[in-house]
Amino acid sequence: MPKTKPALFRPTPANLTRLANQLRRGGIVGVPAETVYGLAANALDATACARIFKAKGRPANDPLIVHLAHAADIGNVAITNSAAGKLAEAFWPGPLTLVLPKKPCVPDLVTSGRNTVAVRVPAHPGFRRLIKACGFPLAAPSANPFGYISPTCAVHVRDSLCNTELRAILDGGDCTIGVESTILDLSDPNHPRLLRPGGLSLEKIEAVLQQKVIKPKTSAKLTLNSAALAPGMLPQHYSPHTPVRLHPTLSPKRAQQIPANEAIVLLCRPREKTPLKPNIFWLSEAGQLASIARNLFSKLRELDKGTWLKIHVELPSSNEGLAPAIRDRLTRAAAKG
């Protein structure tokens, strides 16, 4: 198949029909989500899903998330339970992925041979309309080359997957959350286990379950063995080509001392009166975690296109809300392969 730059399509009824037909024929399509952009294929068609792995350079042992149009469709692909039902009722559509025992119709390729499947109902209206137009679930990991920074707008997808089989991207605007979904393993409903912090906070999940969730080891302590428990959660991921250095706190004063050819990303706009050097950037006006998450990947991509020798980033200090997800992505972005 010839390799061309993928085209962008707005979510008009005619375009949704066209893209659904491409997916029905076994093609791959870039899709918008509230989390990050995805690379979608018919989740029930192993040949189509193989194209996702190929386009991303994704290893076969890293399973895909299956996206449904409605929570009521869960029984088509997974064996559900009451804890999953409660969470689906509270948080779907939204940035929560549930890992449950799988139904036989889900190809082994999608689950990397596991007997569980990861499922989610996305909140992005364009993505949901596309799933409805298809009439089958869509498997979709993030639409980036494996290991690189996730995409949060259609142009990011076009830029980083242009020399692949991908021909079409549904352009649903900028992602409103900006980090991937929270993944919760509910295959044993009595022992819910967090596999990845993400767009939905653990506090909210625990409040609905009225139960503590087992947390993963911190990214820094991940070993290849623990990565195998949560497949695909490798110590290095979401990484720009430019080396990333993390700072538990980075005062504007200290930032001013960093060499001019190294970029500095603060969490919050500095209040200093002195003029700021041109290598100082920030992710939010006043430290709001939602803004930091929404701007994180696009800022890293933007800086990675420049000639910076290093990217210094300040880490959020809190343990609440989106902070663990932001810290997780940054820790992996800074990890060495």
Contacts with ligand AMP by CB under 6 A lie at 62-63, 65, 99, 111, 114, 116-118, 141-142, 180, 183, 195-196, 230-233
Question: Which CB, 228 or 309, lies closer to ligand AMP?
Answer: 228
**Residue 141 beta carbon to Mg ion: minimum distance, rounded to whole angstroms:** 5
**Residue 235 beta carbon to ligand AMP: minimum distance, rounded to whole angstroms:** 13
The binding site for Mg ion (CB under 5 A) comprises 142
Backbone angles phi, psi at 119, to 5 degrees: -130, 150
Residue 140, Ramachandran bin (φ over 0: left; ψ between -120 and 50: alpha; else beta): beta
User: Which one of ligand AMP, Mg ion, none is in contact with 291 (Cβ closer than 5 to 8 A by kind)?
Assistant: none
User: Which one of ligand AMP, Mg ion, none is in contact with 67 (Cβ closer than 5 to 8 A by kind)?
Assistant: none
User: Which one of Mg ion, ligand AMP, none is in contact with 183 (Cβ closer than 5 to 8 A by kind)?
Assistant: ligand AMP
**Residue 229 beta carbon to ligand AMP: minimum distance, rounded to whole angstroms:** 8
User: Which one of Mg ion, ligand AMP, none is in contact with 152 (Cβ closer than 5 to 8 A by kind)?
Assistant: none
Sign of the alpha-carbon dihedral angle for 200, 126, 108, 135: positive
Closest residue to ligand AMP, judged by C-beta, is 232
Q: How far is CA 23 from the centre of its chain?
A: 21
The answer to whether residues 314 and 168 touch, using CB atoms and an 8 Å cutoff, is no
Amino acid, single-letter form, for residue 283:
L
Question: Which CB, 158 or 196, lies closer to ligand AMP?
Answer: 196
User: Which one of ligand AMP, Mg ion, none is in contact with 156 (Cβ closer than 5 to 8 A by kind)?
Assistant: none
Question: Which CB, 167 or 332, lies closer to ligand AMP?
Answer: 332
User: Which one of Mg ion, ligand AMP, none is in contact with 93 (Cβ closer than 5 to 8 A by kind)?
Assistant: none
Question: Which CB, 142 or 176, lies closer to Mg ion?
Answer: 142
The answer to whether residues 43 and 137 touch, using CB atoms and an 8 Å cutoff, is yes
Strand ranges in the chain using DSSP code E only, listed in sequence order:
7-9, 29-31, 38-42, 65-67, 96-101, 116-120, 138-139, 168-170, 182-185, 193-196, 244-247, 263-266, 280-282, 311-314
**Residue 132 beta carbon to Mg ion: minimum distance, rounded to whole angstroms:** 24
**Residue 135 beta carbon to Mg ion: minimum distance, rounded to whole angstroms:** 26
Question: Which CB, 85 or 147, lies closer to ligand AMP?
Answer: 147
Question: Which CB, 79 or 276, lies closer to ligand AMP?
Answer: 79
User: Which one of ligand AMP, Mg ion, none is in contact with 34 (Cβ closer than 5 to 8 A by kind)?
Assistant: none
CA angle 305, 309, 312 (to 5 degrees): 90
Retrieve residue 31's tokens.
């899709």
Question: Which CB, 57 or 306, lies closer to ligand AMP?
Answer: 57
**Residue 68 beta carbon to ligand AMP: minimum distance, rounded to whole angstroms:** 14
Backbone angles phi, psi at 255, to 5 degrees: -60, -35
User: Which one of ligand AMP, Mg ion, none is in contact with 240 (Cβ closer than 5 to 8 A by kind)?
Assistant: none
**Residue 65 beta carbon to ligand AMP: minimum distance, rounded to whole angstroms:** 5
How many CB atoms neighbour CB 189 within 10 A?
17
**Residue 233 beta carbon to ligand AMP: minimum distance, rounded to whole angstroms:** 5
202-209 and 82-91 helices cross at what angle (nearest 10)? Answer: 130
The answer to whether residues 161 and 6 touch, using CB atoms and an 8 Å cutoff, is yes
How far apart CA 231 and CA 62 sit, in angstroms, is 5
Counting every residue written for the chain, the total comes to 337
How far apart CA 167 and CA 51 sit, in angstroms, is 12
Question: Which CB, 27 or 141, lies closer to ligand AMP?
Answer: 141
